[in-house]
Structure 1
Amino acid sequence: MLGGVAIGLLAFAVPAAATVTSGAEALATSLDDAWRACNAPQLSSADRIAHCTTIIESGRAKPVARAQALMARGFGYVFQKDFDRALADFDAAIRNNPKLAAAYYYRGAIQMGRDPKRALADINKAISLNPRDPDYFRERSSLYAKRKEYPRAIADLTTAIGLAKEPTREYFLRGAAYEDIGQRDKAIADFQASLVLDPDNDVLRRHLVHLGGEIPKAVQLPSGLCSANDITHEQRIAGCTASIESGTLTGWPLKVAYCNRGYALTELGEYDRVITDSDALIAINPQAGCGYLNRARAWYYKRDLDRAIADYTQAITFEPRLHEAYASRGTAYFDRREFGKAIADYNAAISIDSDIPMYFSDRGNTRYVMGDYRSAIADYNRAIAIDPDYSQAYARRGWAFLCLDELANAEADFDKALKLAPGDAYAQSGRAEVYQRQNKPVPEERSTGLSFDNLRRMVEQPSEAAAKKDHP
């Protein structure tokens, strides 16, 4: 599973002073900087490739160091989905250092779908060189599972569980293997173990219930109105307050109670209370990502963008798959007109959850403001494909078509937006502009007001007023 390979980059940095041969001090300093960038955990793929290439082509790196630079550059190509170049770099890394286990592992991961036999040979070699890495056993188990060799897959996953610090994925995969061979009780036990390690995994939670398994007490949702669906924000606040004040909640359930109450308070505009609530949660659990997320949203609506961005960043630090934090931070960057950072955050949110239309719409809006109308339209298309009744995406796409002077398309989109949201001022102004360009009389509009769906645990989109000021 190549996607799994790309999660844990890059834990093999070596001090540059130990990796280059003697030479001018300025060159050594330059290579030192290049090495740090080449192996930095957070870096764009293009920058990683450039810095690693500096080391590779310097002629100063020793074979072991050059092999690691080649492997890091290969990783950059993986993120660009240029797998042929990645393979070439992993091949070269192995030639420079035949004992570099990770290079065999990464090469094998790429070969999974191309040449499973060669992939298995590479991963076997990686395991022989480093039998203490759980990723290698997990990757080999997926090969065995695809070949329906479940006893071998389960054996590898059992080994990986023993080696991994937090074997969340390993328990889940072994549970799936047990489920595939009809061993339901063992599957439930492994899914329960995985859920305890990843209690925010709603998909796994639902699947466990579907199998008839009980949710472990340590990760049960707070009872009553605090976790109920289809209730008012006031009811949720009352329910969560009762749960918190009962004194019976600890750990994850207590975090959920605070986070659910903080979310509801945010929706009601009680921003100071949200900040107080989030401060209390963070004091109890300094790594509660949703506490930082709620507090960040409060700072955002109070127009303190610096504090909002800082808290969104903390949320991401503690919960790297919290896509709402990426998307919300992207909105804050948009408001600061730091459009490149906004795009990067929307990209990250979409890479985690590509089923949320507003992420595509907001990325499209950013591209619109940057003047990239075609890319904006492509994003609006994606948003509409996910939610055909997403009125804002039609209105925004209409304005993009208008900027390209595609008046028929623009008019159709504004008509659709107004059908879905009668009285929407943004769509009305767009259609009026179309009519003016076509020398057509503008029909009288009767405003019925806008309706808003407040989705649970979902970020708000930029306000129409904020978006409109950047549009024609």
Structure 2
Amino acid sequence: MRLSLPSLLAYASSLALLGISIPMVTPILASDTDNPDTCQTVKPALLNSADDFIGMGHFQEDCEKNSLAAVASFTQAIRLNPKAEEPYYHRANAYQNAGNYQAAVVDYTEVIRQNTGKLGFSSGAYWNRARAYERLGKKQKAISDLTQLIGVDSRNADQYLFRGNMYRDIGNKERAIADYQVAEKLLQQYLSGSFGNGFQDSRYQEMLEKVRSVLSQLN
């Protein structure tokens, strides 16, 4: 099971946010260190079960770079197990990679409908649906998804940065500044080691400098 979490270090695919890379959907798996062109995703030997078709979909995306073929495989997995959220989530990611953002929204919505908590795939679904809404120009809906994702006490700077951008884009300067300030504080904590050494990454320093620049412009 591959769960997408909205963290800067968790994905390979990215979009520009504040002039730096912010993740969008599940990454292609890292390949063999001796041969970086070798895809490590295993192609299923047989296609009998929903899991087989999910595996095939991942192989088609990761190794063949064919998102439309992956959509077809995930669709077959859904037919075999329509009550499972996982194939909907992966099909949504494939739709997103193929540029079909409206179809992606539909599938992410189904994932959220099946699992309204923050377990399973719903957290990644909120994040990726917000990205799809952004691409569709529905920034208020993106804000709603990010607000749901942030909840009461999120420690994810990416979420505040993204929502801050959406508030800025719709002209809500006050709320944009508030989100950027929270992101600034979290990034400082990342770099100081408050959440462990895994967050002491040069990209977070770059993010912090960008956030401070944006705050300076807004103030």
Q: TM-score range by the shorter chain?
A: 0.5 to 0.7
> 1:234 corresponds to which residue?
39
- TM-superposed CA distance for 1:395, in Å, is 5.5
Listed as ranges, the matches of 1:46-57 within 5 Å are none
Aligned to 2:76, which of 280, 287, 302? 280
Separation in structure 2 between the aligned mates of residue 355 and residue 285 of structure 1, nearest angstrom? 35
Matching of residue 330 in structure 1 with residue 110 in structure 2 = no
- Post-superposition offset of 1:316: 1.2
Partner of 1:367: 167
Separation of aligned partners in 2, 1:287 and 1:395: 45
| Shift in Å, 1:404 | 2.6
1:350 correspondence with 2:146: no
Instruction: Give secondary structure in 2 for the equivalent of 1:274.
Output: helix
Structure 1: which 5+ residue stretches go unaligned? 1-198, 202-228, 406-472
Counterpart selection for 1:377 from 150, 159, 180: 180
Q: Give the number of the structure with larger relative contact order, counting CA–CA contacts within 8 Å between residues 6 or more apart.
A: 2
Q: Which SS does the other structure have where 1:237 is aligned?
A: coil
Which structure is higher in helix share?
A: 1
**1:410-438 deviation line (CA, Å, top 9, x unaligned):** xxxxxxxxxxxxxxxxxxxxxxxxxxxxx
Give the letter aligned to residue 68 of structure 2.
D
**TM superposition shift of 1:262:** 3.6
Deviation at 1:331, TM superposition (A): 1.0
Q: How big is each residue's C-alpha offset from its partner over 1:311-330, in whole Å with a ceiling of 9 and x where there is no partner? A: 11111112323110011111
Secondary structure of residue in 2 paired with 1:337 = coil
The 1:404/1:264 distance shift into structure 2, 3 A limit, reads farther
Change (3 A) 1:382 1:302: farther
- Partner Cα distance (1:352, 1:260) in 2: 36
Q: Conserved in 2, the CA contact under 8 Å of 1:236 and 1:264?
A: yes
Query: What residue identity is the alignment partner of 1:362?
Result: F
Percent identity reads: 20
> Could you report, residue by residue, the CA deviation over 1:424-463 in whole angstroms, capped at 9, with x for unpaired residues?
xxxxxxxxxxxxxxxxxxxxxxxxxxxxxxxxxxxxxxxx
Q: Is the 8 A contact 1:368 1:376 kept in 2?
A: no
Contact 1:282-1:291 within 8 A present in 2 as well:
yes
Report the CA distance between 1:347 and its aligned residue: 1.9
Q: Give 1:281 shift.
A: 0.8
Deviation of residue 234 (structure 1)?
Answer: 2.1
Assess, with a 3 A threshold, how the Cα gap between structure 1 residues 306 and 403 changes in structure 2: closer, same or farther: same
Cross-structure match for 1:400: 214
Task: State the Cα distance separating 1:339 from its structure 2 match.
Answer: 2.0
User: Post-superposition shift, 1:293?
Assistant: 1.7
Deviation, 1:375, is: 2.0
Matched AA of 1:335 = R
Shift in alpha-carbon separation, 1:388–1:347, aligned structure 2, 3 A: farther
Change (3 A) 1:316 1:259: farther
Counterparts of 1:401 and 1:365, CA distance in 2: 11
The residue number in structure 2 matching 1:312 is: 108
For residues 379 and 300 of structure 1, the distance between their equivalents in structure 2, rounded to whole angstroms, comes to 29
AA of the residue aligned to 1:336: L
Q: Note the C-alpha offset of 1:265.
A: 4.3
Q: 5+ residue gaps in structure 2?
A: 4-28, 33-37, 191-198
Query: Is the CA contact 2:157–2:182 (under 8 Å) kept in the aligned structure 1?
Result: no
Relative to structure 1, the CA distance from residue 275 to residue 200 in structure 2 (aligned partners, 3 Å threshold; closer, same or farther) is closer
Alpha-carbon separation, structure 1, partners of 2:69 and 2:161: 30
Code of the aligned partner of 2:79: A
Q: Give the SS at the match of 2:75.
A: helix
Aligned pair in 2 of structure 1 residues 397, 299: CA closer, same or farther (>3 Å)?
A: same
Q: Residues 304, 357 of structure 1: CA spacing in aligned structure 2 closer, same or farther, 3 A cutoff?
A: same
TM-score (norm 1): 0.31
Which structure has the larger Rg?
A: 1
CA RMSD of aligned residues (A): 3.5
Offset from partner CA, 1:317-356 (integer Å, 9 cap, x none) = 1232311001111111122232221111112223399454
Per-residue deviation, residues 38-63 of structure 1 (Å, max 9, x unmatched): xxxxxxxxxxxxxxxxxxxxxxxxxx
2:66 aligned with 1:270: yes
**404 and 360 in structure 1: CA distance in 2 versus 1, 3 angstrom threshold:** closer
Instruction: Kindly report which structure 2 residues correspond to 1:441-452, keeping only aligned pairs within 5 A, or say none.
Output: none
Task: Tell me the matched-pair count.
Answer: 170
Aligned to 1:236, the other structure's residue is in SS state coil
**Counterpart for residue 79 of structure 1:** none
SS at match of 1:401: helix
1:275–1:330 Cα change, 3 Å = same
